[in-house]
Structure 1
Amino acid sequence: MYRLTLDPIAEEQISAVPENALRPLAELFVLLETAPWSGHPFNPANPRGNMLTHAFGERGLATYLVLEDQDEVYLLRIEWP
């Protein structure tokens, strides 16, 4: 199991997510703690990189780093257009 750490900017972005996106976001957090490599590479030219993205809800996107040696997922950004 991985520890999920939120970047301060991601925390601010989460507070702006609409209420109907909170449940999918919570489900994403569980997924990131158990299967963080299930996301897509942030940079397709580097498919084995540790920076990934994962969609959630209808339009959300999370960008995060998997710090394998620390059993940590560092959530960088949350986007909800």
Structure 2
Amino acid sequence: MESTCRCTAPVAEEQITALPDEALRPLAELFTLLETAPWSGEPYNRAKPRSNMLTHAFGERGLATYVVLEEQRETLLVRLEWP
């Protein structure tokens, strides 16, 4: 499934703005990956491996949580972590 990864929840938008410069390239690479392979992440809830909420590591320390919206052919970025 080809999708777009342009949708972000307000919390994720704030988190993107707060990311250090070193995280921006890995995040851009993650967006590119999610456009072609949105199901490549790990289940957010391992007890529900078929759920459409997933996590994906990016860069050396980042973790993105996102939802695959199959019918809309989109992914919605919900939260970013960069400790």
Q: Which residue in 1 is equivalent to 2:82?
A: 80
Alignment of 1:1-16 (within 5 A): 1-4=2-5, 5-16=7-18
Q: Which residue in 2 is equivalent to 1:43?
A: 45
Structure 2 Cα separation of the partners of residues 18 and 7 of structure 1? 19
RMSD: 0.7
Structure 1 Cα separation of the partners of residues 62 and 29 of structure 2? 12
Structure 1 ranges of 4+ moved more than 4 A = none
Displacement of 1:33: 1.0
Displacement of 1:3: 1.9
Q: Which runs of 5+ in 1 are unaligned?
A: none
Displacement of 1:75: 0.4
Number of matched pairs: 81
SS at match of 2:56: strand
Structure 1 Cα separation of the partners of residues 56 and 21 of structure 2? 19
Q: Which residue in 1 is equivalent to 2:28?
A: 26
Structure 2 Cα separation of the partners of residues 41 and 71 of structure 1? 18
SS at match of 2:71: helix
Question: 2:79 corresponds to which letter in structure 1?
Answer: R
Q: Which runs of 5+ in 2 are unaligned?
A: none
Which shows bigger deviation, 1-10 or 25-34? 1-10
